[in-house]
Amino acid sequence: MSEIKQLAYALGAQIEGITISETLSDVQTAFIRKIWHEHHVILFREQKAKPNEIIEFASNFGELDDHASTPFYRLENFPQLMEITTRRVNGRPSETRNVGRNWHSDYSYTQRPAAASMLFCVEPAPVGGDTMFCNMVKSYETLSKPMQKIVDELHSVYDISLTAGLFQRDLKEVEETRKLNPPIAHPTVRVHPESGKKALYVSERVSHFHGMTSEESKPLIDYLCYHATRPENVYRHVWRAGDLLCWDNRTTMHMALTDFDLTQSRHMLRATLRGEQSGFIVDD
Ligand code: SIN
């Protein structure tokens, strides 16, 4: 018997009574989907799962990304998992040690941005290293009608170069990753394909609105990010080993906080579900 517990006012629910390393029944899968659409972020606690079991669980909910857009971040032998870690990898500082440090939605700088992500905590930071999430459906719904009308018409241009900390990584790999991911425009308001709800799609990785200058766009990008991340619209997750946290990238943004000692181990594995094609390459 599964039970749910709301995690915050704006979004987030913990689901109890599910073991992610076991095969899910159709009833369990449908139940999880329903709760996920209602709460946008779902949490399973005290899980034990090997990489292949995380992949198996994630594949119940959609097509798995092989992380070809960020090939240097893959877990060895498991391209369906991204290793997000402060531990050294192959004797070098990890390229993912500072992933996710500004508000974003995963793979928004690709033509087919992520529908959802599932992050398994192998080892949390000794203290801190939390992740914050905000609800982009509420962000849209709480804009005034005239502002909704303005954003309904816009396309946000996503630029991977605006990923916080990108240029602190291996510069040769960064250049290759930038070449793989040229700036992409997506509708600033997207309709969720399953719930039919409208959600704001903007982040700190948006350089401008398509057809507008950066100077014209910046005040509006800043306002929309400020509006979306008001404290009452945010859930802050404090990680424990064995947490599997799943978020819908079409209805949330998130940010990994750097409020911990980066010389300590924080080790996570992420499966990413592919979304629908919604972007086009731009050159303005
Ligand atoms: C991410 O942005 O996917 C990483 C989140 C985290 O490490 O908490």
Ligand 1 binding pocket includes 270 (Cβ within 6 Å): yes
* C-alpha to C-alpha distance for 14 and 31, rounded to whole angstroms: 13
Q: How far is the CA of 187 from the centre of ligand 1 (A)?
A: 23
Is 282 within the bounds of a domain?
Answer: no
**CA of 254, closest atom in ligand 1:** 2
Q: How far is the CA of 211 from the centre of ligand 1 (A)?
A: 31
Strand, helix or coil at 51?
A: helix
Is 140 within the bounds of a domain?
Answer: yes
Give the mean pLDDT per block of 10 residues along the chain (284 residues). Answer: 92 97 97 97 98 98 96 94 96 92 96 97 98 98 98 97 93 93 96 96 97 98 98 98 98 97 96 94 83
Mutate to test the pocket of ligand 1, among 268, 272, 273 (most ligand atoms within 8 A of CB): 268
Q: How far is the CA of 239 from the centre of ligand 1 (A)?
A: 11
Q: How far is the CA of 144 from the centre of ligand 1 (A)?
A: 31
Q: How far is the CA of 117 from the centre of ligand 1 (A)?
A: 9
Give the domain range for residue 139.
3-276
Residue 240: Cβ within 10 Å count: 11
Is 283 within the bounds of a domain?
Answer: no
Is 211 within the bounds of a domain?
Answer: yes
Give the CATH number for residue 93. Answer: 3.60.130.10
Is 89 within the bounds of a domain?
Answer: yes
Is 226 within the bounds of a domain?
Answer: yes
Ligand 1 binding pocket includes 237 (Cβ within 6 Å): no
Nearest CA to ligand 1 atom 8: 256
Q: Which pLDDT score, from 0 to 100, does residue 24 have?
A: 97
Domain count, the chain: 1
* C-alpha to C-alpha distance for 207 and 102, rounded to whole angstroms: 13
**CA of 256, closest atom in ligand 1:** 8
Is 284 within the bounds of a domain?
Answer: no
Ligand 1 binding pocket includes 32 (Cβ within 6 Å): no
Ligand 1 binding pocket includes 100 (Cβ within 6 Å): yes
Q: How far is the CA of 104 from the centre of ligand 1 (A)?
A: 10
Residue 183: Cβ within 10 Å count: 21
Q: Which of 146, 129, 183 is nearest to 161 (CA)?
A: 183
Q: Which pLDDT score, from 0 to 100, does residue 283 have?
A: 79
Is 281 within the bounds of a domain?
Answer: no
- pTM metric for this prediction: 0.96
User: Which DSSP string do the residues of 114-166 spell out, in sequence order?
Assistant: EEEEEEEEEE--SS---EEEEEHHHHHHTS-HHHHHHHHT-EEEE-GGGSTTG
